[in-house]
Structure formats: structure tokens, C-alpha cells
Amino acid sequence: MTQDMLHVIEWHNGEKHFSPFSDAEMTRRQSEARAWMAANDVDAALFTSYHCINYYSGWLYCAFGRKYGMVLTQDESTTISAGIDGGQAWRRSFGRNVTYTDWRRDNFYRALRQLTAGVQRLAIEFDTVSLDFRRMLDAALPGVEMVDIGAAAMWMRTVKSAEEQALIRKGARIASLAAAGAAALIREGLPEFEVASAATDLMNREIAASFPHVDLMDSWTWFQSGVNTDGAHNPVTNRRVRRGDILSLNCFPMIFGYYTALGRTLFYGHVDDASLGIWEKNVAVQKRGVELVRPGAKCNEIASELNEMYRGWGLLKHRSYGYGHSFGVLSHYYGREAGIELREDVQTELRPGMVISMEPMVMLPQGMAGAGGYREHDILIVTESGAEKITDFPSGPEHNIIRA
């Protein structure tokens, strides 16, 4: 029935789109992966995650239940997209692109077989390939040995080039702009989602104005009030702002798949003495954390020193999560660079070019004096001699008590 229907095609429609990264930058990334492949006797690599395909090709896909991939050999790089995407993958990819159609359920694997003919040793991302996907890969590529490239690719991504740093700086600027605009809108009775929507609109407009051509996708805002501040990743709700509320404003501009973030604690109208004391202590921890980020510092040692500050105030038991993490190609659904986390069990030594957040948080439950979640979030670029804080939005009670 489908014999006259195409299964794998080159659907190159339009011209290549603007990229914030030069050809030299994209070649550098692919060359680093190829060097790893050569050193590990790997014939080809199949990237399937959002973050690796975006990092090595410049294209961020929308899965919606379909498979996507990028095959890297010593000679070529080719993204594998679905027909539903039209020519968008071709326009965004640094390198070749092939498209598979929906007419047979194995067409993704048909495309993969064409691109890996003769391959005996294939690298895949163990950390994102599900058991079912692995079974399908084994069936599609019988006799091919599969090894992991996920961990190696993560470490390649952790040190940001000058071009990556420039893009992240733009994101930090846009996050601050959106936060300022959103904070100016806060008033009693306004629902959380109205503030969040306004901040996200501001980010999208500024991103659109900052590049000749850009895909506007995934930027978001978490604005929480009252009890909803107890979780940093709690969703936006229709709760209305009340006088005396603790507030948490978090803006996340997503630009070409790169994540930046800004987070601030605010209060509406007034802040009681107990809350003020906790807020000031959390700001002090955040400022000390910024001072500790430098080349040669170990993630676990930074965490340990900041723990002592909380311990001295009896607040250590109210900590919510690690003190910070790596930035780059990531979002809330892809790309965590878990090797750089400011946690007690991560001994990674910071290096120049790494980009990391400093975002301490404590949460006191309802019924306690000062109840709520307190969080301050900045971004730092590790330099040769220290770290540069690229977040310029003010923090603390001197700046972030919103007048009623």
C-alpha cells in the first residue's frame, strides 16, 4: 500500500538560518567529539538528546512522540528529522539533514541504517536512551557494538567558549530586564499567572529584538507567592498576591537552546521581623557563595563552607537543594550538566570558562515564624583569576520590598 511513498528524503527547503555561533565554533565542537571518537575506536556517534543535538548541530527539535537523532562520523554530520518538521531542521543544522516520513514506523531506523552503513562501533547516550529505545537500536543495527558518549559529551559542554559566554550574557541581560518589568506590575490582588505572563512576554520581545532571526521557544517565568514559594520549581497558579506576602520571581530566557536564569525573593507591602532576618541571612549566604566561586575551587568545598553559615543560624535543616549548577545548553527538560553541581558529593574543580549559578535557598514551613521559601539566584562565569557575576538585578530587602 505504501510502496510508492518515500521513506527517507532530503527535504531542504529555504536557506540556512542565522546562528549566534560561527562555523569555526561549530567545527570546534564537532572536532572535539571526533577526537574522542578516534581515541576510543568509535566509528560513528548517534546523538539523540535535545542538548547534544543542539550543541553539535545548532538545531533544537520538538519531539512530540517521534525519534530524532544526529549521526557524527569523521567526515560528516547529519541530523535526522521527521517530515512534520518540514525543512526547519535543515535550516538550523550545521551540516547535512535527512528527513524520515510517517508512512512506516521503522523509518527513523531506516534513515539511521543508511547513515551508519559499515559502522561496527557506535557511540550513543546511555543517560538518555531508554531500555525500549536501546532494544530497537539493537534490532535495527545487528552486530554493532554500542558504547557510551553521554558522559564524555557532558564534560565537553561544561567549558563554554567565548561565543557561548556572549550568548549567556545576553540571556542574563534579558532576564534582568524582564524581572524589572514584572516587579513593577505587582500589586495586591494580581494573580501569579499575570505577573509570569508579563515577564515571559517581555523576554520574548527582547529576544526577538536582539537577533536577526531566532526561534522563540521555551522561555518561561515562575512567579510564586505565599505558600507557593516553598518549592523553587513550583508551577505558576491563580493565587492572588496579598499584602505581606513573600514572593519568588524567577525568569528564564531560552535562546537557541541556551538557558539563563534570574531568581529573587521579594515581599509585597511589608516584611515582618522574622522573615526579614531569614531573608538577610540567605542574602549573606548568596554573597559569600559568589566570593567562593573561582578557578581551582571544588564544588563540595564551596557547599561545605556555606553549610557552616546556615548551621550557625540553625537554618541548615531548612535547605532545599544544592547551591548551584552549570549553565549552557539545558532547560527544565533537558541538558543537566551533573558534573558541575555545588553539592556535598560533587568534587569537581572549577575551571575558567565554566558558567555556574549561585542560588541558595531555605524553606520554612507554614506555622513557623518567617514561613516561606527564600531564594537568590545569580550567574557567574569562572575567569582565570576569579569569577564574573553577570546578573545585575539587585537583591535583598533594600531593593525588593514592593510598595503597596
Establish whether 325 is a catalytic residue.
no
* Residue in 17, 51, 213, 233 annotated catalytic: 233
Q: Which whole-number Å values give the CA distances from 197 to 104, 220, 258, 266, in the listed order?
A: 40, 8, 20, 18
Cα 73 to the center of its chain, rounded Å: 27
Residue 276 makes CB contacts below 8 A (sequence gap 6+) with 397
CA distance 18 to 32: 23
Q: Confirm if 146 and 116 have CB atoms less than 8 A apart.
A: no
CA distance 29 to 45: 13
Q: Which whole-number Å values give the CA distances from 12 to 83, 90, 310, 357, in the listed order?
A: 11, 6, 57, 39
Beta bridge partners of 229: none
Degrees, nearest 5: CA angle 299-304-310: 130
Cα 339 to the center of its chain, rounded Å: 14
20, three cell numbers: 549566534
Catalytic residue numbers read 233
